Amino acid sequence: MQNFTKYLKTKANIAEPEFELLIKKVEFRNVEKGEVLLRPGEVCRHSFFVENGLLRSYTVDDAGKEHIIQFGSENWIVSDRSSAFFNEPSDLFIDAVEDTRVVLISSDFINEASEISSSFRNYNQIALQNHIRHQQKRINLLLSASAELRYMNFIKLYPDLTLRVPQWMIASYLGITPESLSRVRKELAHKNFKPN
């Protein structure tokens, strides 16, 4: 709970009395590697704050191919925002890439925290706008950037994941084949590029 506590107190500026009220309204859960937290057709009832471990959200096309939308490592939040907000069936899977401990954040928690704390309300608004900005940038990269540039942006966004996830997952996130990713990494190695 250390990361979530720090998140609420430092990022969202929740004062101690407010924190004591709010922390009682969240649930913690251990998720085993491969365990699915959300399936297409289900309504997303929680956002998942990653205390430790790694989640991913993805879709599966008609041919059975996975398309990874997002990874969420420590201190990230993974959710299907549109499903949660509009109370509609999700199109996404969310599962654990590693054994993971999550904090389940309900929309009731968000609403109550926003009522109790103007700092949280403001932070939540900024976080939402940042999420939109990130999604727009990701769409633009997928539509117009080279595989190398997409990989460089992946490393910048997820500096700790190159050694934590298989190459096929990174390729899926980038919208390229594992073979193309291998070529990109080889070309970068020739340029003496080191990801970390």
User: What distance in Å separates the CA atoms of residue 166 and residue 79, rounded to the nearest whole number?
Assistant: 22
DSSP-derived secondary structure letter, 11: I
Which residues, 6 or more positions from 135, have their beta carbon under 8 angstroms from its beta carbon? none
- pLDDT tens-digit readout, 92-132: 999 999 999 999 999 889 999 999 888 899 999 999 999 99
User: What distance in Å separates the CA atoms of residue 71 and residue 85, rounded to the nearest whole number?
Assistant: 20
Confidence of residue 195 (pLDDT cuts 50, 70, 90): low
Q: Are 124 and 114 in contact (CB under 8 A)?
A: yes
**Percentage with pLDDT > 70 across the chain:** 98
Give me the helix-helix angle, 16-23 and 107-116, nearest 10°: 160
- pLDDT tens-digit readout, 3-47: 999 999 988 888 888 888 888 889 999 999 999 999 999 999 999
- pLDDT tens-digit readout, 56-97: 999 999 999 999 999 999 999 999 999 998 999 999 999 999
Sheet with 46-52, edge to edge strand ranges: 27-31, 100-106, 46-52, 77-78
| Domains identified in the chain and CATH numbers | 1-144 (2.60.120.10)
Which run of H or of E encompasses 85? helix 81-86
Q: Which amino acid, 165?
A: V
Angle CA 81–82–88, to nearest 5: 125
